């Protein structure tokens, strides 16, 4: 049984009504069909690479799956649960299993808070349910078990205890992304959307993060949707590849099949734009 079943998922962004009016036909022409009738399955333990150029709808699809934005139509089932029919309370519980790693490792971290509080925040939020109050600060809460959990998460991503009391601006881009990954792991999720997690990093640092994600997948039994515009990165990390173009999945299959024998012209153009992969095609 697939971990995630996505069927006919569509997201249409409609422009805000102009104060100067305008015909309905003109408005419909300005509509953006960011995700267009997408149907995919994601199997437990796999990495499904989602590749395409900027603006193809990749990040929108990832956010739709997590219901960070609401779809226009379609269905999303996670382990048999209908996510679009789930109440806020049910969705809050299901979100323990589904997390996201963002593209920009600086913008995604609150600069006002220390690393220990950033990583502990998901744990604190879920502990707060049913509790009258709970400090957002690990230090103020005096919760030694919470600090221990945060320390273990830091170690899992290759950082040590000295990072706990520091702020995001004190770290390099690669270190900040490790902090973001530790936060995503805090609630022990089964599924993580990796939304271009290495595109803002230089090549050597990005390679370290990719290797870390592979190791964490083995250690924690994770399932990834790995979003990227880089075919080499997707090929290296993914079990299967889905190619997205103008909001549609135009090709999907095993990594070797997609990279060695692509059938869609857009997939071939992506491979041709990558010299080392294009050479393998010839």
pTM: 0.89
Assign 32 to helix, strand or coil.
strand
CA distances from 82 to 61, 130, 187, 198 (A): 17, 25, 21, 31
Between 72 and 142, name the one with better pLDDT: 72
Does position 136 have pLDDT exceeding 60, yes or no? Answer: no
Least confident of 81-90, 134-143, 161-170, 230-239: 134-143
CA distances from 254 to 98, 169, 204, 250 (A): 24, 40, 26, 14
Name the residue among 108, 114, 173, 116 with its Cα closest to residue 149.
116
10 within 8 A of 35, measured Cβ to Cβ: yes
Alpha helix locations (H) across 143-202? 144-156, 173-185
- For 27-66, write each residue's pLDDT tens digit: 556 789 999 999 999 999 999 999 999 999 999 999 999 9
CA distance 57 to 36: 9
CA distance 125 to 127: 5
- Token output for 220: 């924690």
- For 64-119, write each residue's pLDDT tens digit: 999 999 999 999 999 999 999 999 888 888 989 999 999 888 888 999 999 999 99
Does position 273 have pLDDT exceeding 90, yes or no? Answer: no
């Amino acid at each position: 049984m697939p971990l995630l079943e996505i069927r006919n998922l569509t997201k249409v962004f409609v422009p805000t009504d102009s104060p100067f009016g305008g015909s309905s036909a003109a408005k419909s022409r300005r509509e953006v069909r960011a995700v267009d009738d997408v149907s995919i399955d994601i199997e437990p333990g796999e990495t499904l690479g989602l590749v395409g150029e900027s603006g193809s709808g990749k990040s929108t699809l990832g956010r739709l799956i997590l219901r960070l934005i609401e779809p226009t139509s379609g269905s999303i089932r996670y382990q048999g649960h209908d996510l679009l029919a789930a109440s806020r309370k049910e969705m809050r519980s299901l979100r323990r299993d589904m997390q996201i790693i963002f593209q920009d490792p600086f913008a995604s971290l609150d600069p006002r808070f220390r690393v220990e509080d950033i990583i502990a925040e998901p744990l604190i939020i879920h502990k707060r349910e049913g509790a009258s109050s709970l400090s957002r600060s690990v230090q103020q809460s005096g919760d030694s078990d919470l600090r221990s959990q945060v320390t273990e998460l830091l170690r899992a991503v290759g950082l040590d205890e000295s990072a706990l009391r520091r702020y995001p601006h004190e770290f390099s881009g690669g270190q900040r992304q490790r902090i973001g990954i530790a936060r995503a792991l805090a609630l022990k999720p089964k599924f993580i959307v990796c939304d271009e997690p290495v595109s803002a990093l230089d090549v050597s640092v990005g390679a370290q993060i990719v290797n870390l994600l592979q190791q964490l997948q083995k250690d924690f039994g994770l399932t990834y949707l790995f979003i990227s515009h880089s075919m080499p990165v997707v090929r290296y990390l993914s079990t299967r590849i889905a190619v997205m173009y103008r909001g549609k999945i135009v090709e999907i299959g095993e990594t070797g099949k997609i990279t060695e024998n692509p059938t869609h012209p857009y997939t071939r153009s992506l491979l041709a734009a990558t010299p080392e992969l294009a050479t393998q095609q010839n």
